[in-house]
Structure 1
Amino acid sequence: MNERQLEYFRRKLLAWKAELLSDSRDTIEGMKDATRNIPDIADRASEETDRALELRTRDRQRKLVSKIDSALRRIEEGEYGYCEITGEPISLRRLDARPIATMSLEAQERHERRERVHRDD
């Protein structure tokens, strides 16, 4: 992968991270503003369910930010774009679709097949 391509992915990852962090700040502000005493038990339960879903979504995004940071670190260390299992280059199309990918498509498919087999046990 050449320097121009690495810079493209670095910028893509940084923009994605900034968007996630912005969404997270908005959620925190929204949750602070939405804190209120709801007398109807059904409405309160609905609000709590919505809040739990939002928090679960934010937790997933927090984990995604960690993966983005890891990808950015791999770019800096010259390891970005190579499969951690086979050492082979990951296709640019795969990286464009999933810039945090750490495995080639073939390695990922093998990994998922093994997971499914072991999960059924």
Structure 2
Amino acid sequence: MPVDDLVEDYRPTDDEPFMNARQREYFRRKLHTWKDDILRESRGTLDSLQEESQNHPDMADRASSESDRALELRTRDRQRKLISKIDAALKRIDDGTYGYCEETGDPIGLARLDARPIATLSLEAQEMHERRERVYRDE
């Protein structure tokens, strides 16, 4: 689909065929933008961590700096995992399975995909999955 065909303020609706070319392009752009934002933040974090690697003479300052650094590294690790989920979603767009529940094969709602474009389960399947997790966790 030519890029010019996708208007900037386009939002997928239930009035059009599910996962038509326009919707796929909308979600592809949304995922790429999200990934680019994460990568840009990561580069900024790496730069600041390298600048921050100075030795603090005060123990409290050093402890605070180490705590901040550990938190930042955990955040980056979560974002690294998120990037792999974004890449998987982009691959599903390419192979035609994007937007369909991995468990039921039913379409995932457009509102859910717009809010969480890496979703792999329909809302109903996700709720059932969470109920099962809760039951097993409580045993």
Question: Normalised by the shorter chain, which TM-score bucket?
Answer: over 0.9
1:36 lines up with 2:54 in the alignment: yes
Which residues of 2 match residues 105-120 of structure 1 at below 5 A?
105-120=123-138
| Pairing partner for 2:104 from 86, 98, 113 | 86
The residue identity in structure 1 corresponding to 2:130 is: E
| Pairing partner for 2:83 from 46, 49, 65 | 65
Name the residue aligned to 1:96.
Answer: 114
Structure 1 unaligned segments of length 5 or more: list them.
none
Name the residue aligned to 2:74.
Answer: 56
Rounded Cα–Cα distance in structure 1 between residues aligned with 2:138 and 2:65: 36
Q: Provide Cα deviations, 1:62-85, integer angstroms capped at 9, x if missing partner.
A: 000000000000000000000000
Rounded Cα–Cα distance in structure 1 between residues aligned with 2:64 and 2:53: 13
Q: TM-score, normalised by structure 1?
A: 0.98
Structure 2 unaligned segments of length 5 or more: list them.
1-18
Q: CA RMSD in A?
A: 0.5
Which structure carries more helix by proportion? 1
Identity %: 69
Q: TM-score, normalised by structure 2?
A: 0.86
* Aligned positions, number: 121
The residue identity in structure 1 corresponding to 2:124 is: E
Shift of 1:43: 1.1
